[in-house]
Amino acid sequence: MAEVIRILGVDPGSAATGWGVIDCAGPRLAFVAAGVIRPKRAAARAEKLAHIFRELARLIEEHRPGEAAVEATFVNSNPQDALVLGEARGIALLAPAAAGVDVCEYATNSVKKAVTGRGHADKRQVQAMVRILLPASGAQSADAADALAVAVAHAHMRGVRKICA
């Protein structure tokens, strides 16, 4: 019987950070939990980041992942939006690392290709494939489905990527 590895996937964002937890035993995947962290809109930026960190830390404590995967930043035409997203990504990388969990990063196109077979799939296609690959997940929001897709991509690539940089 294959060893079970619990994986936390994170789709970072300052307004909505998707998260998903799956169990991986060899080629078998099982849905554990998923959701979205939504800081208060009116909160100061530092408080939004603190909220994301606290919630990710709580989820890590609750679900005890052995590995984490975070979606890498895509190119953004607005420098301010890219900066804010980068700050949320920093928190998404910090929370598992601070808990002693190994963290890998995956480009958006790599995640989409691992889940749908197409690097430029749209959000609906990702959501549909996550429901097929993880039937117990049911219908998830786009942010939660994206986080589950990151976890699935990591599960598929973890044998190839021994070390995450």
Delineate the domains of the chain, giving CATH numbers in brackets.
Answer: 4-157 (3.30.420.10)
Tokens of 14: 């300052």
Instruction: Grade residue 76 by pLDDT with cuts at 50, 70 and 90.
Output: low
Q: What is the 3-state secondary structure (H, E, C) of 147-162?
A: HHHHHHHHHHHCCCCC
As a whole number, the mean pLDDT across the chain is 91
Residues taking part in catalysis? 11, 71, 143
Tokens of 164: 């995450």
pLDDT tens digits for range 29-48: 999 999 999 999 999 999 99
